[in-house]
């Protein structure tokens, strides 16, 4: 090795013999092996992703006391910024290409619970943070957000999940699982690729589309008309709209800040101000979507 830099927890940039790599540590050997098996079957992976690489001895995984280590191609470039329309278009395009090019891959079997179960757990975690709202004089904010999250989640759960999940199973469709801006890289030659497939799973592409739509939303001035431009290929349109209405993204950001607060890494006042503003914008968007769904 010529050089090593810690990028974030359990992720390192490595330079060896003039080549650059990403070295990542996993807790599960099986999870890393299954990711490699998936990439072996994904024929167009080099076009859309940072691929896993084998070590000089031909192995895919190296184990030590710290965990299971995987090697990946390092992509030189910059993360996308969803504040730019061009980057939103590029992100939606590469996610759609990922969905299309991976359809039909049968193994490895990576399955998780339907999305609404994840949202239920997030709502339960949000409920436990009520004291932070109570002590700060923000009970109304908590009550409004909690009531709305409960209602929209209830509507989301009532969708025909048997049909949605069965369709995904029959077509063998895959989702990335974490379509945040930092998992998109525009390389030096202008190509946009996905990185970090730790949450890769077989399931409805709808889940990626909902998450990406929620991440785009604040950057579109909460315009439903613009938002739909990026998701014209989404198959389950009503489910997509109902999923976006669930304020899971607001709860996710709040919980992230709350955990840092509990570790005494930051104060909550600034984030409560953000949540007030974000909730105000979301309510206006909700009225537009509910009109469409009537």
Asked if 70 and 85 sit in the same domain, the reply is no
pLDDT above 80: residue 108 = no
Asked if 22 and 148 sit in the same domain, the reply is no
How big, in percent rounded to 5, are the helix, strand and coil portions of the chain? 55, 15, 30
pLDDT one-digit tens code per residue, 35-46? 999 999 999 999
**CB atoms near residue 129 (< 10 Å):** 19
Domain count, the chain: 2
Asked if 186 and 199 sit in the same domain, the reply is yes
Asked if 18 and 48 sit in the same domain, the reply is yes
Asked if 41 and 186 sit in the same domain, the reply is no
Asked if 102 and 27 sit in the same domain, the reply is no
23, 50, 74 - which closes a domain = 74
Tell me the average pLDDT of the chain.
92
CATH number of the domain at 23, please: 3.30.200.20
Taken in order 204, 53, 97, 76, is the CA torsion positive or negative?
Answer: positive
Asked if 206 and 89 sit in the same domain, the reply is yes
18, 50, 74 - which closes a domain = 74
Asked if 15 and 112 sit in the same domain, the reply is no
Give me the pLDDT at residue 113, please: 84
Asked if 175 and 287 sit in the same domain, the reply is yes
Asked if 125 and 241 sit in the same domain, the reply is yes
Asked if 203 and 172 sit in the same domain, the reply is yes
Task: Kindly give, in sequence order, each residue whose CB lies less than 8 Å from that of residue 128, ignoring residues fewer than 6 positions away.
Answer: none
Residue scoring higher pLDDT (122 or 9)? 122
Q: Which domain holds residue 132?
A: 79-293
Give me the pLDDT at residue 263, please: 83
- pTM, two decimals, is 0.94
- What does the alpha-carbon distance between residue 235 and residue 104 come to, in Å, rounded to a whole number? 17
74, 105, 132 - which closes a domain = 74
Calculate the CA dihedral of residues 247, 248, 249, 253 and round it to 10 degrees: 110
Asked if 240 and 98 sit in the same domain, the reply is yes
pLDDT one-digit tens code per residue, 230-275? 999 999 999 999 999 999 999 999 999 999 888 886 778 889 999 9
Radius of gyration of the chain (CA): 20
Residue scoring higher pLDDT (84 or 286)? 84
Give me the pLDDT at residue 1, please: 59
CATH number of the domain at 234, please: 3.90.1200.10
Task: Kindly give, in sequence order, each residue whose CB lies less than 8 Å from that of residue 91, ignoring residues fewer than 6 positions away.
Answer: 80, 82, 179, 181, 184, 192, 212
Measuring CA to CA, which residue among 199, 201, 223 is closest to residue 213? Answer: 223
């Amino acid at each position: 090795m010529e050089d090593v830099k810690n990028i974030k927890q359990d992720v390192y940039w490595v330079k060896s013999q003039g080549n650059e790599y990403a070295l990542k540590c996993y807790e599960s050997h099986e999870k890393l092996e299954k990711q490699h098996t998936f990439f072996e079957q994904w024929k167009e992976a080099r076009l859309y992703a940072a691929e896993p690489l084998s070590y000089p001895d031909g192995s895919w995984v190296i184990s030590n006391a710290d965990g299971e280590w995987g090697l990946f191609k390092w992509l030189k470039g910059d993360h996308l910024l969803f504040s730019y329309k061009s980057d939103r278009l590029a992100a939606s395009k590469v996610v759609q290409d990922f969905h299309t090019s991976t359809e039909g891959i049968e193994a490895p079997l990576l399955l998780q619970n339907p999305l609404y179960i994840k949202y239920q757990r997030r709502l339960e975690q949000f409920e436990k943070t009520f004291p932070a709202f109570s002590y700060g004089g923000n009970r109304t904010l908590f009550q409004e957000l909690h009531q709305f999250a409960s209602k929209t989640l209830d509507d989301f759960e009532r969708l025909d999940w048997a049909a949605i999940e069965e369709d995904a199973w029959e077509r063998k469709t895959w989702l990335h699982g974490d379509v945040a801006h930092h998992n998109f890289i525009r390389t030096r030659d202008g190509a946009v690729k996905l990185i970090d497939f730790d949450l890769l799973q077989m399931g409805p592409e709808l889940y990626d589309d909902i998450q990406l739509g929620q991440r785009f939303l604040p950057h579109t001035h909460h315009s439903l008309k613009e938002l739909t431009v990026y998701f014209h290929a989404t198959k389950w349109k009503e489910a997509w709209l109902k999923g976006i209405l669930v304020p899971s993204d607001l709860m996710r950001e709040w919980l992230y800040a709350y955990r840092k607060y509990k570790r005494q890494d930051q104060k909550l006042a600034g984030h409560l101000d953000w949540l007030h503003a974000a909730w105000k914008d979301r309510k206006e968007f909700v009225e537009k979507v509910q009109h469409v769904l009537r």
